[in-house]
Amino acid sequence: MVSTNYQYDIVIAGGGMVGLSLALMLVQEMPALQVAIVERAAVTHQPAVTGNSFDSRSTAVSAGSVELLDALEVWPALARHATAIRTVDVSDRGHLGRTRYSVANARAQHTLGALGFVLDNAHLGQALLAAVKQTGRITQLCPATVTAIAPKAQATEITVEFEQEQQASQTLRAQLLIVADGAESGLRKQLGIGVDINDYGQHAVIANVHHSEPHKCVAYERFTEQGPMALLPRGGGERGCQSALVWTRPESQLQTTLALSDEDCLAQIQNTFGYRLGSFQKISTRHHYPLKLSLAKEQVRSGLALVGNAAHFLHPVAGQGFNLAVRDCAQLTAALAEAHKQNTWLGSLPTLQAYLAKQSRDQFATTMLSHGFNSLFSNNRKPLQLLRNLGLLGLQAAPAAQKDFFDQMMGRGMARAELNLLQRYLLRKQAQAELAEV
């Protein structure tokens, strides 16, 4: 039996794209639940320049995530801003290896006629915030910061400090605190939860680029010795001539890249990417993000769960961070709904552990996909070059393996009992090649 001595059933610390999505799932599944989101940044409908969820980046959302956003009634407001990805083209600069996968060959049913969609983060933020408001059932404490967490018997106490001076700080008592405060999670640190970090020594430089040929709804992943470059179709339907660039640069070259004139920068992009999109003509302001793989050593404790970047921050090469987090949130919501039905404490450790047990295979597979992709393709050692080109050519020649691989990328493969064969094959071969080199 649950005590009723709570202000909220669930408090979410961090109202970025993951915190807001989770809040919507929770109240949709459990309408009687009292849910509050505490968000440090003032809610704004203008994109922040850089550094929070709703900045000038674009996000590739998989068809699986779109189905979830649709179920949350967020998708109708987003659909008109979204650019369909109908084909994914993966290639290796200077080599023959290349594979192309399109919605027409997909094994999974894609009712929306696309493998995924590209959204400006600013649009995603606006739609999520509007949907949260629309429910009328989620309390937004904002701008406010969670500054302290105290675990109690069958409860968590959360100290919230409000930005406005006239509002004092407040202590909230909840059944469960969900920490969704991002990759640099101050709360994770405060809780003494360590992280396993693999620093890639790379930065993602992002910008929007105009090109002379239409993108035709193709998302490109191009691998180079210095790291991958992605170009995601952005706007204008099939005939659109703009793409969102995510360009991985080694730490040592970051400042030089940022200091380039627009003209020189476009020339370098052209040289790296080639002419599949014609000539690059214009580039927006460039921003950059340090890249690492960071995995929290604990994701659940009694009365506490970590989600989103606070739980796992992945290399963006395969566009998986948000998509994985959305699936985590759906699985967590299902576990909590079961506990709610049984009228048991939502923060109970067995409930949270059951969630993690169900979701860990997906987390592992997706993490390996992002990490393996970057490690394998950011490397100019000969055995690995050969291997990845064989891998890409093999994918092109083996439709079944190709379908498995892209299903995982598009958030469709997570129900499979095993890691898909190709991923395991590539990872094993990579390890063998590395061993052979030592």
Which residues, at least 6 apart from 285, have a Cβ–Cβ distance to it below 8 Å?
56, 207
| Beta-strand relationship, 195-211 and 287-296 | antiparallel
Q: Which range, of 55-63, 67-75, 220-228, 357-365, touches ligand FAD by CB under 6 A?
A: 55-63
Give the interface size with ligand FAD as a residue count (CB under 6 A): 37
Pure H helices in 321-348 = 321-341
Helix axes 349-377, 399-409, angle to 10 degrees: 120
Residue 57 as a binder of ligand FAD (CB under 6 A): the answer is: yes
For residue 198, count CB atoms less than 10 angstroms from its CB and return exposed for 0-12, middle for 13-18, buried for 19 or more.
Answer: middle
Given 97, 235, 308, 391, the residue binding ligand FAD (CB under 6 A): 308
Structure tokens at 197: 């970090």
Query: Which lies closer to ligand FAD via its Cβ, residue 33 or residue 410?
Result: 410
Residue 234 as a binder of ligand FAD (CB under 6 A): the answer is: no
Site for ligand FAD in 241-280 (CB under 6 A): 246
Binding track, positions 6-45, relative to ligand FAD; x by CB under 6 A: -------xxxxxxx------------------xxxx----
CB of 181 to ligand FAD, least distance (A): 3
Residue 411 as a binder of ligand FAD (CB under 6 A): the answer is: no
Question: Rg for the chain (alpha carbons), in Å?
Answer: 22
Site for ligand FAD in 120-149 (CB under 6 A): 145-146
Given 97, 182, 235, 347, the residue binding ligand FAD (CB under 6 A): 182
- Nearest Cα neighbor of 101 from 119, 86, 122, 112 is 86
Q: Which range, of 49-57, 368-376, 382-390, 420-428, touches ligand FAD by CB under 6 A?
A: 49-57
Separation CA 322–CA 346 (nearest Å): 24
Site for ligand FAD in 312-371 (CB under 6 A): 316, 319-323, 325
Give yes or no for a contact between 320 and 314, defined as CB atoms under 8 angstroms apart: yes
Give yes or no for a contact between 132 and 19, defined as CB atoms under 8 angstroms apart: no
Structure tokens at 148: 């302290």
Q: Which range, of 104-112, 176-184, 380-388, 392-400, touches ligand FAD by CB under 6 A?
A: 176-184
CB of 413 to ligand FAD, least distance (A): 15
| Beta-strand relationship, 35-38 and 8-13 | parallel
Structure tokens at 121: 């983060």
Give yes or no for a contact between 340 and 33, defined as CB atoms under 8 angstroms apart: yes
Query: Which lies closer to ligand FAD via its Cβ, residue 120 or residue 181?
Result: 181
Which residues share a beta bridge with 202? 250, 291
Binding track, positions 64-93, relative to ligand FAD; x by CB under 6 A: ------------------------------
Residue 187 as a binder of ligand FAD (CB under 6 A): the answer is: yes
Query: Which lies closer to ligand FAD via its Cβ, residue 143 or residue 214?
Result: 143
Site for ligand FAD in 189-208 (CB under 6 A): 204, 206
Residue 408 as a binder of ligand FAD (CB under 6 A): the answer is: no
Residue 379 as a binder of ligand FAD (CB under 6 A): the answer is: no
SS3 159: strand
CB of 329 to ligand FAD, least distance (A): 10
Separation CA 131–CA 124 (nearest Å): 11
* H/E element, 428: helix 421-437
CB of 381 to ligand FAD, least distance (A): 26
Separation CA 3–CA 14 (nearest Å): 26
Four-CA torsion 118, 90, 375, 62, nearest 10 degrees: 30
CB of 17 to ligand FAD, least distance (A): 5
Applying CB under 6 A, the residues found at the interface with ligand FAD are: 13-19, 38-41, 52-53, 57, 59-60, 145-146, 180-183, 186-187, 204, 206, 246, 289, 308-309, 316, 319-323, 325
